[in-house]
A and B are shown apart, each in its own frame.
Chain A
Amino acid sequence: MSYPSERVAGAPTTAKTTYSKQWLVLVALGITAACVFLAAASLGAIPVSPLDLFMERAGRTMQRTVLLEIRLPRVLLAAFVGAALAVAGASLQALFRNPLADPGLIGVSGGAAVGAIAMIVFGTTFAVDALMPYLVPLSAVAGASGVTLFLYAFSRQFGNFSVTTMLLVGIALNALAQVGIGAFEYLSDDTQLRTLVFWMMGSFGRGTWTTVLPSVAVISIAVAILLLDARRLDILQLGESDARNLGVDVDGLKKRVILASAAAVGAGVAVAGIVVFIGLVVPHLVRLLGGARNPYVLTGSMFLGAALTVVADLVARTVVLPAELPVGLVTSALGAPFFLWLIARTRPQ
């Protein structure tokens, strides 16, 4: 297994040039993300852009509503979910020291889905409808945390995962998630089933301010926690005992990373459904651009994850106008070939 972090310990003489290059890449990615965000907010079935607001051209109330109530929450949600998935993917890859840890592939998103569905089916019996926008993400975060904790306990039991083991465990966990989803589908009555079907068709198009804002808040906090732990994740690459000797509270770090990744993924899945491959592809692209230092990889993943997901959603909602494609279709079309290439590359020699 050739995990790129080996390069970190590698050549200290080039450290300075690497740092300045990484800064450059980060600035470029940040600008790209901002441009993509503006472009996505300006493009769509109805011609209206945020610039019109300032120039008071959006005189027609319909266009104003489209921009403020439909397009902005949608683009914002896509950006945050993309950032969350990419940062969570990068963090999990560092934590498991395994390059194929993608929240979708290893079952974390599936766990979130089961959590969300459980709340959709059973929540209505004890909760008021007004609380559902908060309870569904909360339950999704709980589901995602459960799976991540299980994965971690499992990997402790059997030593570190090999790439293959991690994928096999992911297949098993995703199958279990399907069982959970199927069972809830069977248990739900007609109205719940309908909500469930809508939910499973996951798309950023369902983003309204009431559903987007709780998710955005949770994702912001979770991503901030992960970014603050990025340097400690670097030290963890040396191995747990070395990291302890260097003064890192390894157990606390693991708990934080697991819970924060699960929270980021769960909050996204609860509103947008399962979007695969962003958490896998983005960190790898960022490493290819400028190296494997985790503070750099996590920050870069945040920008690139947001940009790529916003673009994927833009494609999904504009290619078959006036209808739209499922966004998962677009990310999978981008991600699956990349995934194959990655497997070919990490194949044991």
Chain B
Amino acid sequence: MVQRRSLVVCAAALLAAAQQASACDESVDPARIAVAGGSVTEILYALGAGSSIVAADRTSNYPAEALSLPSVGYVRALSAEGVLSLEPTVLIGEDDMGPPEVIAQIKSAGVPTIIVPEVHSASGIIDKVRCIGRLVNRDQEAADLIDNTLTPIVAAINATASGSDGRKPRGAVLLGLRDGAPLGAGLETSGDGLLDMAAAANVFDMFSGWKPVSMEAMLQADPDFFVIPERGLNDAGGLDALLEHPALRLTKAAKEKRVITMDGMTMLGFGPRTLGAANTLAMSLYDNDPEAESSD
């Protein structure tokens, strides 16, 4: 399993490297940027290019200024004419922007379209910042952000993790309850990347993608803690309802009430904030402090 996983990571890294060479080096005019993807918006604002954004998608909820931008819809359901009507000079998006036909239409109307490579790891986030910095001619700002903020966070996580006996906490990232079954993060998901960044192990390494997890599979995996987005927790009816759920009730995490909740885009958006989220997660895990944050 470990072998397969490292193989996947290697392949993903190679693929990303190949993509990065093409996508990030493209020369574009960053005067009017349309964005499809919350992490791209977050990074553009962090690099001081927020004022060049003319439109953003619905996942762009950070920083607060981004909420007042014209919305071009959900990142996976963009409208070609809607985007074009804002006369962007470039469309920068995450790898799940679409539908592909609409992206093709936008390209054919002469708007360069850049898909920023997505790798669910700390270096993936750093590469993303560097990539976007290069695209909008803000390499220096990108380097500053990486050196002054991101790299120190990675170092802090490593320091936190190295202080323990080397046994990784084992956890599960859940999106929420879908049709009554918890939707768990398997390999090759943003949830898996978050756990890995926080120096924790993913209990669901037997499948890939987001999958509904059965009661027995959950018991067998027996995670030490759960991470769940706030929205997923609210949809499930709050912390108590979640912990009472038959599929979760008997796990170690539920008995010790170790549930960490975060804003969904902070947790899984893989912008700079996700690195901070991983740091928070690592600290709460390795301090052995049974800190069960609850949203109610």
Interface residues of A (CB under 8 A from B): 44-46, 61-62, 65-66, 69-71, 186, 189-190, 193-195, 197-199, 201, 203, 205-208, 211, 317, 320-324, 326
Contacts and interface: CB of A to CB of B under 8 A. Distances in A.
A240 B164 CA distance: 82
Nearest to A322: B82
Given A190-B188, A205-B80, A206-B99, A322 B55 contact: yes
5 contacts: A65-B110, A189-B208, A198-B77, A208-B101, A208-B104
A46 B96 contact: no
B86 interface: yes
Given A46-B85, A69-B105, A323 B209 contact: no
Contacts of B72: 322-323
Contact of A45 (B71, B84, B96, B100): B84
B175 to A, nearest CB: 14
A315 to B, nearest CB: 13
Which of B86, B105, B208 counts the most chain A CB atoms within 10 A? B105
B124 to A, nearest CB: 16
Nearest to B212: A186
B168 interface: no
B101 A190 contact: no
A5 B121 CA distance: 66
Given A70-B80, A203-B77, A323-B79, 6 more contacts: A61-B110, A189-B208, A190-B209, A193-B209, A207-B101, A320-B73
A223 B79 CA distance: 30
B98 interface: yes
Contacts of B96: 194
A134 B70 CA distance: 36
Interface residues of B, number: 32
Nearest to A210: B101
A208 B98 contact: no
Interface of B: 55, 58, 70-74, 76-77, 79-86, 96, 98-102, 104-105, 108-110, 188, 208-209, 211
A323 B71 contact: yes
A132 B110 CA distance: 26
Across chains A and B, which 4 residue pairs bring their CB atoms closest together, nearest first?
A322-B82, A323-B73, A45-B85, A198-B99
B109 A62 contact: yes
Which of A197, A206, A320 counts the most chain B CB atoms within 10 A? A206
B105 A208 contact: yes
A189 B82 contact: no
Contact of B109 (A66, A207, A317): A66
Nearest to B95: A194
Given A65-B110, A211-B101, A324 B82 contact: yes
A273 B106 CA distance: 21
A292 B200 CA distance: 69
Which of A195, A199, A205, A321 counts the most chain B CB atoms within 10 A? A205
